[in-house]
Amino acid sequence: MADASRSARRAPSAPVVADARPAPVLLPPFARAAHVPLHHQIAEDLVLTLNSGRFLPGAALPGEAALCAHYRASRGTIRHALAELGRHGLIDRHVGRGSFLRRPKIEGNIVGSYRQFRVEGPPLDPGGRVLSLTRRRADANVAGILGLRDNRSIFVLKRLRFAGGMPVTVQTSYLPAALCPSLPRRRLDERHLVDILLEEHGVAMTRAEELIEPGIASAYDAAQLGIRAGVPVFQIERRTYLADGRIGEFRRAVMRGDVYRYRLDLR
C-alpha cells in the first residue's frame, strides 16, 4: 500500500520535446561577377536562396561575420545587402539575435469563370543594354528552379530594357547553357530573347508563370532606370516553359511603377 502511495505521488516525467526550430539557411558557393556592385550581387544571391523553398519560415541566416567570410565582403556591404532584403519583406532583422526568413506571402490566382487574362505594359523595344552575361555552374538554388543537376552550366544575362527609348526594366535571366550554347555570340542588344532562342536555337517557349508584387527600387536598379532609390516598383518573377514541361528561362525583373500597369480581361 505504501508503495502504491509513493507511486501516486511520483511526478510524471517531462515529455521529450523535439527541437522544432527550422534548420538554418545554408548558402551555396558564390561566384562574384564583374560590372555589378557586390552588395547587389549578394542581395540577389540571398533572394534566390531564400525563395528556393528549401528553408522554413523562421530559419536563421548566417551571422554577419559568416556572411562576410562567405561572400568575401566587408561588414558594411553585407549590411547593405541585408537591408535590401528587409525592404523587400524577405527577412526579419532583430538586433542582437540576427536575421530570419519571413513567412512567404499569400498567393492568389485567377480561377473559375475568369478564363482569360492579358498583360498590358509598355511595349518593350527589342534587345536592350547588356549589363552582364556570364556562364557559370548552377548552384543548388538555380539548379532546383531550372530542374537541372547541380553544377550544370547556365547563362546569367542581365539587361536594361527600354520602351520608346526610355529605360523601364532591369531583367536577370537564368537559362540552361545546353539550350543556347552560342548565346554570347548573338545580338542581345538588338533582339528579343524569345526570338533569338526560337530562330537561332530552335527553342520554343509555350507558356509562362509570373508572380508580381510591389517593391521599392534598390540603389543599383534606380541608377540603371534613372529613378530615385526607394521609389515604388514592380518586382516580377517569371518561369517560362518549353513544350515538354521543362523551364527554359527563369527571370527576375524590376519594372518602373510609374510606367507599367496590368490589365485583366475577365470574360
User: pLDDT tens digits for 48-70?
Assistant: 898 888 889 999 999 999 999 99
pLDDT of amino acid 108 = 55
- Whether 136 and 252 share a structural domain: yes
Give me the mean pLDDT over the 169-178 stretch. Answer: 96
Asked, for residue 215, whether it belongs to a domain, the answer is: yes
Asked, for residue 197, whether it belongs to a domain, the answer is: yes
Strand 166-176 to strand 153-163: parallel, antiparallel, or no bridges (unpaired)?
Answer: antiparallel
- Whether 90 and 173 share a structural domain: no
pLDDT in tens, 110-129: 454 434 444 555 688 999 99
- Whether 91 and 139 share a structural domain: no
- Please tell me whether residue 17 adopts helix, strand or coil conformation: coil
Strand 232-242 to strand 205-216: parallel, antiparallel, or no bridges (unpaired)?
Answer: antiparallel
- Whether 52 and 162 share a structural domain: no
- Whether 159 and 81 share a structural domain: no
Asked, for residue 245, whether it belongs to a domain, the answer is: yes
- pLDDT band of 104, cuts 50, 70, 90: confident
Mutual orientation of helices 38-50 and 75-87 as an angle, nearest 10°? Answer: 50
Asked, for residue 200, whether it belongs to a domain, the answer is: yes
- Whether 170 and 56 share a structural domain: no
Q: Are 61 and 98 in contact (CB under 8 A)?
A: yes
- Whether 146 and 242 share a structural domain: yes
- Whether 252 and 133 share a structural domain: yes
pLDDT of amino acid 259 = 82
Identify the CATH number of the domain in which residue 88 sits: 1.10.10.10
pLDDT of amino acid 21 = 76
Average pLDDT, the chain: 84
Identify the CATH number of the domain in which residue 215 sits: 3.40.1410.10
Asked, for residue 154, whether it belongs to a domain, the answer is: yes
Asked, for residue 221, whether it belongs to a domain, the answer is: yes
CA–CA distance, 37 with 59 (Å, rounded to integer):
27
- pLDDT band of 105, cuts 50, 70, 90: low
Q: Burial, 64: exposed, middle or buried (Cβ in 10 Å; 0-12, 13-18, 19+)?
A: middle
Where is mean pLDDT largest: 63-72, 190-199, 256-265?
Answer: 63-72
pTM equals 0.77
- The closest alpha carbon to 176, from 199, 190, 197, belongs to 197
- Whether 95 and 137 share a structural domain: no
Alpha-carbon distances, residue 91 vs 51, 66, 87 (angstroms): 11, 17, 9
Segments forming the whole domain that contains residue 94: 38-101
Q: How many domains does one find in the chain?
A: 2
pLDDT of amino acid 17 = 42
Given a cut of 90, whether residue 79 has pLDDT beyond it is yes
Asked, for residue 193, whether it belongs to a domain, the answer is: yes
- Whether 89 and 134 share a structural domain: no
- Whether 140 and 179 share a structural domain: yes
Show the cell assigned to 165.
Answer: 527609348
Asked, for residue 50, whether it belongs to a domain, the answer is: yes
- Whether 171 and 229 share a structural domain: yes
